[in-house]
Amino acid sequence: MHIYVVGNITVDEIWRCASLPQKGESLHGEKTAQDIGGKGANQAIVLSRCGLPVTLIAGSGNDYYGQWIHNTLSQESLLFYPQYAISTHSDTSIIFTTEDDDNAIMTTTAAAEALTLDIIEPLLADACPGDILLQQGNFSAAKTGSLFALARRKQMVTVFNPSPVHPAFAALWPLVDIAVLNEHEARLLHPDPATTLIVETRGALGARLYHHQGIIDVAAEPTTVVDTTGAGDTFLAVMLASALRRETRPDELALRHASRAAALTISRSGTLQAFPDANILASLLQNNA
């Protein structure tokens, strides 16, 4: 079994300022962090740290950040394609934060958009029945749907985390086996529990599993909240890994494993640097309590 994550990879720059910039204003600030981010990369990295074979298909640009992305990912146990740079800037999230926890975020999407189906489809040529295709919401509904349809033809298992959300994603549920989404996304997209196994994350309230036999609630793990960035990505990846390692669909134990891992990510600042490492994840996944 192999997991293909098709999505985005970004460089996250976090800038702290006294107040958010206003129209026409110049102000001093401090760059407090630079880290790899992007939901595709985040989920692929955590899945691979859980010991599963992962290919990340995501676009990086032909700039300094593109090289940095490749160097950083070469330290992770995953395959990263395409190996060449896309002829655009790497996608970047500029995150302005203030002392009173206000923030404003600007994200570029040129590299994700430049990753066309012509580039992606050959990279899925070796995918076999039973392999996983995991996508997030960074592509158009048309591109996302085409890839899920290809996965269905290959008898792969399809997993969708529709974030950032778009109303057009609601048409994709017939192509999706497992949906992982937060309450806001669920309200907008209405996945059908009769055909799709649904995991709804509910922030500090925990997570809820809907399947044909009913609903299971799992509480969030108590933690010190330092930075919730990447909580949802950690949750999804560890939940999927827990189930796949036991050759089952996401269940109550998978949600418990995921909640514990997400709590660890929340207790640290940053994105990639906040994710639990392979040793911590191995012992977490061995605990069946």
Binding residues (CB under 6 A) for ligand ATP: these are 163, 182, 201-204, 206-207, 220-221, 223, 225, 228, 230-233, 235, 259, 262-263, 266
Looking at the Cβ atoms of 86 and 284, the one nearer to ligand ATP is: 284
**Residue 169 CB, nearest approach to ligand ATP (Å):** 14
**Residue 33 CB, nearest approach to ligand ATP (Å):** 16
Looking at the Cβ atoms of 27 and 204, the one nearer to ligand ATP is: 204
CA distance 113 to 142: 12
**Residue 17 CB, nearest approach to ligand ATP (Å):** 22
Task: Name the CA radius of gyration of the chain, rounded.
Answer: 18
Q: Which residue is nearest to ligand ATP (CB)?
A: 232
**Residue 207 CB, nearest approach to ligand ATP (Å):** 4
Helices 278-286 and 252-266 cross at an angle (nearest 10°) of 150
CA distance 30 to 17: 7
Strands, E assignment, the chain: 3-6, 10-16, 30-37, 54-57, 79-81, 92-97, 103-107, 132-136, 157-161, 178-182, 197-201, 207-211, 214-218
Looking at the Cβ atoms of 43 and 90, the one nearer to ligand ATP is: 43
CA distance 240 to 3: 10
Token pair recorded at residue 172: 């994709």
**Residue 221 CB, nearest approach to ligand ATP (Å):** 6
